[in-house]
Copies of this chain bind each other. A is one copy, B any other.
Amino acid sequence: MEKGRLEAFSDGVIAVIITIMVLELHVPHGNQLADLVPLLPKFLCYVLSFINVGLYWNNHHHLMQAAKHVNGRILWANLHVLFWMSLIPVTTDWMGENHFAQTPVILYGVVLLMCGVAYSFLVKALIAKHGKDSVLAQAIGRDKKGNISVLLYALAIALAFISSWIAMGLYLTVAAMWLIPDTRFEKIIYQKK
């Protein structure tokens, strides 16, 4: 099976996810700068989630670039990732609406954690299809960054019971970790070509 439509469909879903989040930034009633202040927590949440969704799209792009074929298991593993990602807008909104209260921050972390776990299932499904010696498997390697992300999200959820700000700091740390250009794939794929 070809991978083209899996990419196109994922692009579509991620494009809608990343864009509908902005719908929650409801226009303030007044027309002064001060009227925007209450929107600030929501806006910051939007920025964080935009980066997180952007990260997943980037990683998905890199991953599928290295893939050659897909099968039924990969299609469902991919839908599973998209399912958890589809929950990012509503949890982002809840977190912003409640000014980073504990429970919404924890739930946001749970959704990010599940995105990470689902993504690792997708990686496994792709390696299973392409073989351990494939370019794809080598490019991913032991997927340290992905595993560290999942661990940090789990840690963030645990520490949110002490303070939701520690959790927020860890969410930002994971995002920053990925924003640093990921040359892992680029190097290996283009050496092979």
Range for the number of chain A residues in contact with chain B: 35 or more
Asked if B27 and A65 make an inter-chain contact with CB atoms under 8 angstroms apart, the answer reads: no
Asked if A25 and B90 make an inter-chain contact with CB atoms under 8 angstroms apart, the answer reads: yes
Give Cα A11 to B101, complex, Å: 36
Give the contacts of A135-190 with B (CB-CB under 8 A): 179, 181-183, 186, 189
Give Cα A188 to B192, complex, Å: 32
Q: Assess whether A37 is interfacial by the CB under 8 Å rule.
A: no
Question: Interface on chain A toward B: helix, strand, loop, or mixed SS?
Answer: helix
Taking the closest CB of chain B, its distance from the CB of A105, in whole angstroms, is 10
**Copies of the polypeptide in the assembly:** 4
Minimum CB distance partner of A54 in chain B: B79
Q: Assess whether A40 is interfacial by the CB under 8 Å rule.
A: no
Asked if A22 and B72 make an inter-chain contact with CB atoms under 8 angstroms apart, the answer reads: no
Q: Assess whether A44 is interfacial by the CB under 8 Å rule.
A: no
Of B8, B58, B64, B86, the residue contacting A50 (CB under 8 A) is B86
Taking the closest CB of chain B, its distance from the CB of A106, in whole angstroms, is 9
Of B11, B13, B36, B103, the residue contacting A18 (CB under 8 A) is B13
Give Cα A13 to B107, complex, Å: 26
Q: Cβ of A102: which chain B residues have Cβ within 8 Å of it?
A: 31
Q: Assess whether A32 is interfacial by the CB under 8 Å rule.
A: yes
Give Cα A77 to B32, complex, Å: 31
Q: How would residues 67 to 79 of chain A score, 1 for a CB under 8 Å from any chain B CB and 0 otherwise? A: 0000111011001
Asked if A71 and B186 make an inter-chain contact with CB atoms under 8 angstroms apart, the answer reads: yes
Asked if A13 and B15 make an inter-chain contact with CB atoms under 8 angstroms apart, the answer reads: yes
Minimum CB distance partner of A16 in chain B: B19
Q: Cβ of A134: which chain B residues have Cβ within 8 Å of it?
A: none
